[in-house]
Amino acid sequence: MLATRNARTKLLLAVGATLAAAALLTGCVDGTTNGANGNNDGNTAGANEATGDTIKIGFSGPAADHGWLGAINASAIAEAKKYPDVDLVVAEGTNDANLQISQVETFINDKVDAIVLLPTDGAALTGVAIRAMEAGIPVINVDREFSSTFAARVTILGDNYGMGVSAGTYICDSLKGKKNALVAEIAGIDSLPLTQDRSKGFADALDDCGLKVSNRVAADFTVQGGEAAASQLLSAAPKLDAIWNHDDDQGVGVLAAIQAAGRKEFFMVGGAGSANVMREIKSGNSVVKATVIYPHTQAADGIRLARLVAQNKALSDLVENEVPRLVRLNAPVVTKQNVDKYIGAAFES
């Protein structure tokens, strides 16, 4: 289908641009350039895993008020424990930007070797992250992007636009050209750029197959918020063909609302990739037929890259001599056909 190819082309072009930008920026970090021979001899996988100088990494993230964030924190701590040369200092999770700023200031004063930061608000934490960078402490920005490129040495992002494209493409393919299909969307927090990106990707993918969102509500990534938003949606839409729910944590409440309403004429696609939703998919007896992964391992990746940066190492699978400036993770769709590949590493809502 030409339309579907157009949506996928947009996504591939965006990914290609990201990789190209990362390659161009890699050689310019801290005023250094890549070696003339263009290889990273000495940064093999074995060399990277070998114990090096002990480094202290400060980690700060939001309060673990739902399963995905809890998994973010747990995976970061578990990753650090794999390395005897990593001393991880974990700040208490918080949704207070001012408190998180003070945590980063403490890391700066303690002269840690690197900071891994999932900001409660990327814009609000930008200033203190720049101060850390100016103090010679590399900052690894996770998930919620700072508002300045000077605030981070490495930025690790999930693909929020790609999530929307993946969900919309799956729904288009499943509805098999049903032009009058009614497609609903249960978003996360509308004020967040990540939610806006997910909705934009979803709308673009649906548009490419001649569909649009007929009913939309926003929740807050919590079970209670998901149940309230879904109840509102189901009351307003007596008939639906498909729903995309942005977040599997709030999906627990969404499924409760669907069960309470006795509705089953539609199918649902989730978001994030929780184990409980994957079990629903695997059962074959649920309205949930798929979910789109938003990796909860981003902070663990941050710990690993912080270690490499602090020890002046590179990624062994790249020719470049330094760790890239930007890493954007994939957003695959999990269905009954491939669920066994993903369920073992999934988080619990």
pLDDT in tens, 292-317: 999 999 999 999 999 999 999 999 88
The Cα–Cα gap between 38 and 320 comes to: 6
pLDDT 10s digits, 84-114: 999 999 999 999 999 999 999 999 999 999 9
Please indicate, yes or no, whether residues 190 and 338 belong to a single structural domain of this protein.
yes
- The pLDDT value given to residue 9: 46
Same domain? For 101 and 234 the reply is no
Looking at the structure, tell me whether residues 39 and 153 fall in a common domain: yes
Report whether 67 contacts 251 (CB < 8 A). no
Residues 193 and 321 in one domain: no
Does any domain span residue 15? no
Q: What angle do CA 5, 162, 319 make, to 5 degrees?
A: 95
Would you give the end-to-end CA distance of the chain in angstroms?
36
Q: In terms of domains, do 139 and 270 share one?
A: no
Residue 213: strand pairing partners: 183
CB 284 within 8 A of CB 29: no
What is the CATH number for 132? 3.40.50.2300
Same domain, 202 and 337: yes
* 254 and 303, same domain (yes or no): no
Higher pLDDT, 33 or 60: 60
Q: Indicate whether 135 and 273 sit together in one domain.
A: no
Res 32 pLDDT > 90: no
**Taking 70 as the threshold, does the pLDDT of residue 2 lie above it?**
no
Q: Are residues 114 and 85 in the same domain?
A: yes
* Domain assignment present for 109: yes
Instruction: Say if 27 falls within a structural domain.
Output: yes
Task: Provide the H-helix boundaries in the chain.
Answer: 2-26, 45-49, 67-81, 97-109, 122-134, 160-175, 193-208, 223-236, 248-261, 275-283, 298-310, 339-342
Q: Domain range for residue 312?
A: 21-157+296-328
* Contact call for residues 246 and 186 (beta carbons, < 8 A): yes
Residue 330 has pLDDT above 70, yes or no: yes
- pLDDT for position 49: 85
Assess if residue 4 is contained within a domain.
Answer: no
- Range 119-140 average pLDDT: 97
Q: Are 277 and 178 in a shared domain? A: yes
- Is residue 51 included in any domain, yes or no? yes
**What integer is the mean pLDDT of 325-343?**
97
Work out how many domains the chain is built from and give that number: 2
On whether both 289 and 301 belong to a single domain, the answer is: no
pLDDT at residue 3 greater than cutoff 60: no
Whether the predicted pLDDT of 18 surpasses 60: no
The answer on 175 and 67 residing in a single domain is no
Over 50: is that where the pLDDT of 29 sits?
A: no
240 within some domain: yes
Within-domain flag for 54: yes
pLDDT of the residue at 38: 43
Q: Mean pLDDT, the chain, as a whole number?
A: 89
Residue 33 in domain = yes
d(CA 27, CA 345): 34
